[in-house]
Structure 1
Amino acid sequence: MPRNRQRLLAAAVAVATVAAGTTAAAASPPEPQPITTQNAISSSFADTFADPAIIQGRDGYWYAYATSDPLVANGPFGLMHMARTKDFGSWEYLGTVFDDSTKPSWAAPGSFFWAPDIRYFGGRYVMYFTVTDTGANPGGDPAIGVATAPTPAGPWTATDGPVVAPKPDGNGGYFGTIDPAMLTAADGKRYLYTGGFYGGISVTELSPDGLHSVGTPTQVTIGDRYEGSYVVYRDGWYYLMGSSMNCCAGPTTGYSVFAGRSKSPRGPFLDKDGADLNESRVGGTTVITQNGNKWIGPGHHAFITDAAGQDHIVYHAIDRGTPWLTDPFGINRRPMLIDRIDWIDGWPRTRAGLGPSDSPQPAPTTGSAAGITSTDPARGLWGATRLAGDSLGGPTASIRGAATTKQAAPGGSVRVEANVKLGNSLTTVLGGGAVVATVSGSKITIVAGGRTATAALPADFDRSQWNNLSVQVAGTTVTARVNDAGLGDLYAEARLAVPELKVRSAPVSWRGSAELDNLTVRSVADPVRREAAVPEAGELLAGDEFSDGGLGAGWSWVRPDANAVVADGELSWPLQNTDLVGSGNNAGLLFHQVPAGDQWIAETKLHLDLGENDIRNYQQAGMIAYLNDDDFARLGDVAIWRTRQTEFGRELVARPSDGATSYGGAAIGRPAPTMWMRLAYHRNAAGEHVYRAGTSIDGKKWTWGASWVLPAGVTPKLGLYAHGDQIGSNPPPVATFDYLRFYTSK
Structure 2
Amino acid sequence: MRRIALLCVLFSATAVFVAPPTVAAAPSTYTNPVSAGTVDTFPDPAMIRGKDGLWYAYGTTNPIRVSAGDPNEHILPILRSPDLVSWTYVGDVYAVSAKPSWWPSGTRPWAPDIRYVDGQYHLTYSMSTGGIALVTGPTPLGPWTDHGRIVPGSGSGCPSGSIDQAMYTDIGTGAHYLIWGSYDTICVSRMNATATALTGAVTQIARGRRMEGGFLVRRDGMYYLFYSDAGCCDGAFSGYTVKVGRASSPLGPFTTPSGRNLMDLTSKDGIVLAGNGNGWVGPGHNAIQTDLSGQDWLVYHAIASSNPEFGPVTNPWGGTISNLSRRPLMLDRLDWIDGWPVVRAGAGPSTGAQPAPVSTWTVGSSFNAGLGGWGTTWPIATETDAGGYLSTSTAGTTLSNASVSGDLRVEGDLRASTGSVGLVVSQADANNRIVAWINRAQQRLVVDVTVAGMTTSASSPLPASFDYDSWHNVAAERRGSTLVTWVTADRLRDAVSTVTVTLPAGAVSSGRIGATSTGGVAAADNLGAAPLYPLPPARVPNPVLGAQLPAYSDEFTTGTTGWTWLRASAATVSGGQLVWPTQAAELVGGTNTASVLHRPVPAGDFVVETKLQFDGTAGNQQAGLVLYENDNRFLKLTHTVLPLAGGGGTVLHVTEFGKEAERPTTTPPTAVASAPMFGGPPALTTWLRLVYRYDAANNEHDVRMASSTDGVNWTWGGTWSLPRAGALRIGLVSMNATGATARFDYVRTYAVA
Q: How does 1:401-420 map to 2 (within 5 A)?
A: 401-409=396-404, 411-420=405-414
* 1:625 alignment partner in structure 2: 627
Task: Measure, in 2, the Cα distance between the counterparts of 1:499 and 1:624.
Answer: 61
Q: CA deviation digits over 1:324-345, x for unaligned, max 9?
A: 1116961111111111101111
* 2:28 alignment partner in structure 1: 35
* 2:701 alignment partner in structure 1: 689
- 1:526 paired to 2:538: no
Q: How does 1:119-198 map to 2 (within 5 A)?
A: 119-133=115-129, 142-159=130-147, 161-168=148-155, 175-186=160-171, 187-198=173-184
Task: Measure, in 2, the Cα distance between the counterparts of 1:275 and 1:82.
Answer: 38
Measure how far apart 1:447 and its partner are: 5.8
* 2:719 alignment partner in structure 1: 707
Measure how far apart 1:636 and its partner are: 1.1
Task: Measure, in 2, the Cα distance between the counterparts of 1:500 and 1:311.
Answer: 30
SS in 2 for 1:45: coil
Letter in 1 for 2:58: Y
Measure how far apart 1:500 and its partner are: 9.9
1:435–1:596 CA distance, 2 compared to 1 (3 A) = farther
| Contact 2:256–2:270 under 8 Å retained in 1 | yes
Of 331, 339, 356, which residue of structure 2 is paired with 1:363? 356
| Contact 2:632–2:671 under 8 Å retained in 1 | no
Of 261, 267, 273, which residue of structure 1 is paired with 2:252? 267
- 1:324 paired to 2:316: no
| Contact 1:376–1:394 under 8 Å retained in 2 | no
Measure how far apart 1:109 and its partner are: 2.1
Measure how far apart 1:493 and its partner are: 1.3
1:502–1:686 CA distance, 2 compared to 1 (3 A) = farther
Task: Measure, in 2, the Cα distance between the counterparts of 1:370 and 1:659.
Answer: 58
| Contact 1:164–1:213 under 8 Å retained in 2 | yes
* 2:83 alignment partner in structure 1: 87
| Contact 1:579–1:587 under 8 Å retained in 2 | yes
1:505–1:33 CA distance, 2 compared to 1 (3 A) = farther
* 1:398 alignment partner in structure 2: 391
Measure how far apart 1:412 and its partner are: 2.3
Task: Measure, in 2, the Cα distance between the counterparts of 1:532 and 1:436.
Answer: 39
Task: Measure, in 2, the Cα distance between the counterparts of 1:342 and 1:444.
Answer: 28
Task: Measure, in 2, the Cα distance between the counterparts of 1:50 and 1:620.
Answer: 32
* 2:560 alignment partner in structure 1: 551
* 1:536 alignment partner in structure 2: 544
Aligned length: 704
1:552–1:103 CA distance, 2 compared to 1 (3 A) = same
1:227–1:526 CA distance, 2 compared to 1 (3 A) = same
Measure how far apart 1:363 and its partner are: 2.2
* 2:318 alignment partner in structure 1: none
SS in 2 for 1:352: helix
- 1:672 paired to 2:683: yes
Task: Measure, in 2, the Cα distance between the counterparts of 1:574 and 1:86.
Answer: 60
* 2:594 alignment partner in structure 1: 587
Structure 1 stretch displaced more, 398-407 or 638-647: 398-407
Task: Measure, in 1, the Cα distance between the counterparts of 2:411 and 2:85.
Answer: 22
Task: Measure, in 2, the Cα distance between the counterparts of 1:300 and 1:123.
Answer: 27
Q: How does 1:727-746 map to 2 (within 5 A)?
A: 732-746=739-753
Task: Measure, in 1, the Cα distance between the counterparts of 2:505 and 2:580.
Answer: 61
Measure how far apart 1:5 and its partner are: 5.1
1:467–1:169 CA distance, 2 compared to 1 (3 A) = closer
* 2:329 alignment partner in structure 1: 336
Measure how far apart 1:374 and its partner are: 5.9
| Contact 2:367–2:389 under 8 Å retained in 1 | no
SS in 2 for 1:193: strand
Of 407, 416, 422, which residue of structure 2 is paired with 1:426? 422
Measure how far apart 1:384 and its partner are: 2.3
Q: How does 1:227-626 map to 2 (within 5 A)?
A: 227-326=212-311, 330-370=323-363, 372=365, 375=368, 378-398=371-391, 400-409=395-404, 411-422=405-416, 423-426=419-422, 428-430=424-426, 432=428, 433=432, 435-440=434-439, 441-446=442-447, 453-496=458-501, 504-513=509-518, 514-542=522-550, 543-553=552-562, 555-561=563-569, 563-597=570-604, 599-611=605-617, 616-626=618-628
Measure how far apart 1:657 and its partner are: 2.0
SS in 2 for 1:381: coil
Letter in 2 for 1:158: D
1:626–1:429 CA distance, 2 compared to 1 (3 A) = same
Letter in 2 for 1:118: I
| Contact 2:545–2:750 under 8 Å retained in 1 | yes
1:249–1:26 CA distance, 2 compared to 1 (3 A) = closer
Task: Measure, in 2, the Cα distance between the counterparts of 1:686 and 1:244.
Answer: 27
1:671–1:474 CA distance, 2 compared to 1 (3 A) = farther
SS in 2 for 1:197: coil
Measure how far apart 1:77 and its partner are: 1.7
| Sequence identity percentage | 36
Task: Measure, in 1, the Cα distance between the counterparts of 2:422 and 2:613.
Answer: 61
Task: Measure, in 1, the Cα distance between the counterparts of 2:208 and 2:600.
Answer: 39
Structure 1, unmatched stretches of 5+, are 10-24, 134-141, 727-731
Q: CA deviation digits over 1:484-519, x for unaligned, max 9?
A: 100121211112456999873422254435411122
| Contact 1:102–1:157 under 8 Å retained in 2 | no
Q: CA deviation digits over 1:5-27, x for unaligned, max 9?
A: 58x99xxxxxxxxxxxxxxx963
| Contact 1:540–1:743 under 8 Å retained in 2 | yes
1:197–1:455 CA distance, 2 compared to 1 (3 A) = same
| Contact 1:378–1:396 under 8 Å retained in 2 | no
Measure how far apart 1:169 and its partner are: 9.0
- 1:211 paired to 2:205: no
Structure 1 stretch displaced more, 304-313 or 641-650: 641-650
| Contact 1:416–1:472 under 8 Å retained in 2 | yes
Letter in 1 for 2:406: G
Task: Measure, in 2, the Cα distance between the counterparts of 1:69 and 1:79.
Answer: 7
Measure how far apart 1:318 and its partner are: 0.6
Of 222, 225, 241, which residue of structure 1 is paired with 2:210? 225
Measure how far apart 1:552 and its partner are: 3.6
Letter in 1 for 2:276: N
Q: CA deviation digits over 1:237-279, x for unaligned, max 9?
A: 1111111011111111001111001111111111111111112
Structure 1 stretch displaced more, 307-316 or 390-399: 390-399
Give TM-score scaled by structure 1 length: 0.89
SS in 1 for 2:331: strand
1:500–1:269 CA distance, 2 compared to 1 (3 A) = farther
Structure 2, unmatched stretches of 5+, are 8-16, 313-320, 644-650
Give TM-score scaled by structure 2 length: 0.88
* 1:136 alignment partner in structure 2: none
Measure how far apart 1:362 and its partner are: 2.1
Q: CA deviation digits over 1:356-385, x for unaligned, max 9?
A: 111111222112112545645744333321
1:499–1:345 CA distance, 2 compared to 1 (3 A) = farther
Task: Measure, in 2, the Cα distance between the counterparts of 1:646 and 1:477.
Answer: 42
